[in-house]
Amino acid sequence: MASRKSSSKSRDENDKYSVLLPTYNERENLPLIVWLLVKYFGESGYDFEIIVIDDGSPDGTLEVAEQLQKIYGEDKILLRPRAKKLGLGTAYIHGIKHATGNFVFIMDADLSHHPKFIAEFIEKQQEGGFDLVSGTRYSGNGGVYGWDLRRKLISRGANYITQVLLRPGASDLTGSFRLYKKEVLERLVEQCVSKGYVFQMEIIIRARQLGYSIGEVPISFVDRVYGESKLGGNEIVSFLKGLLTLFATT
Amino acid sequence: MTKLLEWLLGVSAVVVAWGLLTFDLLGLRLPQAYRDVAWPMPMYLLLVFGCYSLATVGYRVATFNDCEEAAKELQAQIQEAKQDLQKRVEILIQRLINPGVELWPLAQLLKEMIRQRLIKVCRMAGTQASHVEHEPTRLC
Ligand SMILES: Nc1nc2c(ncn2[C@@H]2O[C@H](COP(=O)(O)OP(=O)(O)O)[C@@H](O)[C@H]2O)c(=O)[nH]1
Ligand SMILES: [Mg+2]
């Protein structure tokens, strides 16, 4: 049931959590992430729905999603596909429109974000009445699996520069495992102009600007297994572009 | 005010203070010792900031948590998930097809077709991802 509440300090029967899962070529991971989500939501007893936003994946992700819908029910798994790859930012916008929960989880479908943390996100949110709770790989027990020294150095360096230049008041800017109050997310998404994962940075900076409260939960990030580390010049250039744009405009 | 403006303001404040002291622009007739300290100050500040940055990043790289346990746990859960999904698919197939008509060849064929389709879910679960379509994009 759709319900709207500005803040809730204690567990509320009416709270519902919509999980947005953008997918592109995730047919191997989608059944697993859905299984894990159902498991952990089931254990913690919160009401939830999973919204799969597939962008016409050529590997047949949507077909797999349809089968999962048969297994878990159409009230739990919602399919909101788009015909072609239109990017992550618009995938979230598209997903929110169809969310019936008063809270929205955003996470990656590639198993790098583990659903075991959802209960911690929710508890954190309730504890401080936060407008958004962000998963962080960079503080507390947070961390990453599968990164070599070079990858760690690039990541820490980029994060440090971002912290110095933007002082965002959150330790993980590009991570996309987050819990939002739905109306807060709607408002933030309206304001953001960036594309790709710079969108994740912008959204948290705008949140600060608009005076929204931010909580953090340390998460372990088990990265997708890549054939080889492909992070190169292109990614660095687009990161710097995004960073400087935010530096000059926010 | 944008972050850029904040920075420009901060930097120009430092530059002005430095200029005032070093060249004694206000004519305060400061002792030479003051000027000698002020003159190389920006260089020192930069050096200190650079060292601090290197040390901070170095320390954070060295103490970056390797989530070995989390990876192991995930691998185990993937196996569990695949088995459970397989079971659910079997149940679904049973529900879709009345076991009483199993002898009827057409029903068998139909059953096999649905089975193949549903079983895809399980087969696809956890098979090695194709690397080509997923290049890392995030710098941090
Ligand atoms: N709907 C949709 N999902 C996408 C798109 N690009 C990436 N994704 C999904 O977004 C999540 C993060 O993408 P990923 O390739 O893992 O990015 P990385 O972790 O930064 O390397 C995954 O669940 C992808 O399947 C897109 O254009 N459209
Ligand atoms: Mg990923």
Calpha distance A230→B138 (Å, rounded): 11
Q: Which residues of B touch A71 (CB under 8 A)?
A: 85, 88-89, 92, 121
Distance of CA A150 to the CA centre of its chain: 25
The pLDDT assigned to A11 comes to 57
CA neighbor of A243 nearest in space, from B4, B75, B81:
B4
Percentage with pLDDT > 70 across chain B: 72
What residues have CB less than 8 Å from A90, skipping those under 6 apart?
none
Angle at B72 between CA B70 and CA B75, to 5 degrees: 110
Sign (positive or negative) of CA dihedral A200, A204, A206, A212? positive
Give Cα separations from A33 to A46, A94, B129 (angstroms).
17, 20, 14
User: From ligand 1's centre to the CA of A197, what distance in Å?
Assistant: 9
Its pTM stands at 0.86
Using a 10 angstrom Cβ sphere, with 0-12 exposed, 13-18 middle and 19 or more buried, the burial of residue A106 is: buried
The pLDDT assigned to A29 comes to 93
Contact predicate A43/A117, CB 8 Å: no
Q: Which residues of B touch A114 (CB under 8 A)?
A: 70, 74
Residue A46 DSSP class: -
Calpha distance B104→B27 (Å, rounded): 107
Calpha distance B14→B42 (Å, rounded): 8
Q: What is the pLDDT of residues B70-125, one digit of tens each?
A: 999 999 999 999 999 988 888 877 776 665 555 555 556 666 667 677 666 666 67
Kind of pairing between the strands at A220-222 and A143-145: parallel
Calpha distance A80→A100 (Å, rounded): 13
Contact predicate A185/A105, CB 8 Å: no
Q: What is the DSSP string of A93-159?
A: HHHHHT--SSEEEE--SSSSB-GGGHHHHHHHHHHHT-SEEEEESSSTT-EEES--HHHHHHHHHHH
B134–A224 C-beta distance less than 8 A:
yes
User: From ligand 2's centre to the CA of A176, what distance in Å?
Assistant: 9
The pLDDT assigned to B105 comes to 59
Calpha distance A218→A124 (Å, rounded): 11
What residues have CB less than 8 Å from A177, skipping those under 6 apart?
A106, A107, A108, A113, A117, A134, A135, A219
The pLDDT assigned to A3 comes to 46
The reply to whether ipTM tops 0.90 is no
Kind of pairing between the strands at A143-145 and A132-136: unpaired
- Would you give per-residue pLDDT tens digits along chain A (250 residues)? 444 444 444 456 789 999 999 999 999 999 999 999 999 999 999 999 999 999 999 999 999 999 999 899 999 999 999 999 998 888 999 999 999 999 999 999 999 999 999 999 999 999 999 999 999 999 999 999 989 999 999 999 999 999 999 999 999 999 899 999 999 999 999 898 887 778 889 999 999 999 999 999 999 999 886 545 567 778 888 899 999 999 999 8
Task: Report the residue from A114, A154, A166 with minimal CB separation from B74.
Answer: A114
Mean pLDDT value of segment B28-42: 87
Element (H, E) at A50: strand A47-54
Polymer length in residues for chain A: 250
Using a 10 angstrom Cβ sphere, with 0-12 exposed, 13-18 middle and 19 or more buried, the burial of residue A102 is: buried
Calpha distance A187→A96 (Å, rounded): 11
A196–B88 C-beta distance less than 8 A:
no
Residues with CB under 6 A from ligand 1: A 22-24, 26, 53-55, 85, 87-88, 91, 108-110, 197, 224; B 134, 136-138
Q: Is B67's Cβ below 8 Å from some Cβ in A?
A: yes
What residues have CB less than 8 Å from B4, skipping those under 6 apart?
A247, A248
Task: Report the residue from A64, A143, A160 with minimal CB separation from B66.
Answer: A143
Beta-carbon-side half-sphere exposure of residue A76 (alpha carbons within 13 Å): 17
- Ligand 1 atom nearest the C-alpha of A55 is 1
Using a 10 angstrom Cβ sphere, with 0-12 exposed, 13-18 middle and 19 or more buried, the burial of residue B70 is: buried
